[in-house]
Amino acid sequence: MSKEFKGWSSGLLGVLIFSGTLPATRVAVATFDPIFVTFARAAIAGVLAALILMVLRQPRPARSNNRALLVVALGVVVGFPLLLALALRHVSASHATVFVGLLPMATVIFGVLRGDKNPHWLFWLFSLSGSLVVVGFAMEQGGNVSAMGDLLMLAAVTVCGMGYAEGARLARRMGGWQVICWALVLSLPLMLPLCLWTLPGNFQQAAWPALLSLGYIALFSMLIGFFFWYHGLALGGIASISQLQLLQPFFGLALAAALLGEHVSTMMIVSALAVALCVVGARQFAS
């Protein structure tokens, strides 16, 4: 099994895990405040990450890696979830997808800025085409528009792309699961008190679907998914593997259809196939 195939397999598994985030979040925020969900997912994942590191007796990261871990924590543990939750108070989930479609390109740009080789110009063409398909599909779904919401989503995509690229570089030295675990532990002194501060009074009376959904986005979306995602980025390259995330909105909608009974349109199927072709094309010219 080649290194590239392992990278793609790991990256795709990470994207599939992340794809469950939207349906699970929809269920969770129907009961809990989005801000509490943001803090709780990071706090729960941070406690689990600390336990994993202690049980496996992992040494503390080298001091030279602390700055990069801080970037990862600010990007994917604190920044993106918080900015996304704030943005969703102003815009719909379908409108937010417009910006999420730009995330793979943002990841590659930060990767190039941090020292990765600049891909072939045809890679950028396929990547841009895939992003435009995702954006076009999301706009076709409709949704409210807000200047504040758009600014928050732009900031969310920027910090997340930065966190993905920095985490991928760091995973080459530390390992993918170690990167996200230490980033979560680094953010725990902030996220745990905020989680307890925003804990709703009716938490113990919450229905099981909401609690299970919160557990999913904490355990899988915030922790386990990153094990595979950073491992895939490190093995297969930031430019190549990042394009798999263009498929995430469609995987998420498919899960929403299966779990929540939402409608799957012909436009969704056609758009997903077009994006898949763009991902394959980008892969050919990523090196």
23-73 per-position pLDDT tens digit:
788 788 888 888 899 899 999 999 999 999 999 999 898 888 989 999 999
Residues recorded for the chain: 287
Residue 228 pLDDT > 90, yes or no? yes
More confident residue, 58 or 122: 58
Predicted local distance difference test score (pLDDT) of residue 203: 84
Confidence band, pLDDT 50/70/90 cuts, at residue 13 = very high
More confident residue, 108 or 135: 108
Residue 143 pLDDT > 60, yes or no? no
Alpha carbons within 13 A on the beta-carbon side of 117? 9
Tokens describing residue 106: 């943002």
- What SS3 class is residue 200? coil
Residue 209's closest CA among 67, 26, 34? 26
Residue 132's closest CA among 286, 274, 284? 274
More confident residue, 199 or 108: 199
Predicted local distance difference test score (pLDDT) of residue 286: 62
More confident residue, 187 or 146: 187
What average pLDDT is seen over the chain? 83
CA–CA separation, 51 and 48 (whole Å): 5
Residue 144 pLDDT > 60, yes or no? no
Task: Give the other-Cβ count within 10 Å of 244's Cβ.
Answer: 27
Predicted local distance difference test score (pLDDT) of residue 262: 58
* Backbone conformation region of residue 175, classed left if phi is above 0, alpha if psi is from -120 to 50, else beta: left
Residue 10 pLDDT > 70, yes or no? yes
Confidence band, pLDDT 50/70/90 cuts, at residue 98 = low
Predicted local distance difference test score (pLDDT) of residue 34: 85
Predicted local distance difference test score (pLDDT) of residue 104: 84
CA–CA separation, 171 and 176 (whole Å): 5
Residue 80 pLDDT > 90, yes or no? no
Distances (CA, A) of 263 to 226, 243, 259, 269, 286: 29, 26, 11, 11, 34
- Terminal-residue alpha carbon distance, the chain: 19
Q: What are the φ and ψ backbone dihedral angles of 101, each rounded to 5 degrees?
A: -65, -15
CA–CA separation, 46 and 190 (whole Å): 11
Sign of the dihedral through C-alpha 153, 194, 202, 220 = positive
Residue with tokens 């795709």: 12
Return the minimum-mean-pLDDT range out of 15-19, 28-32, 266-270.
Answer: 266-270
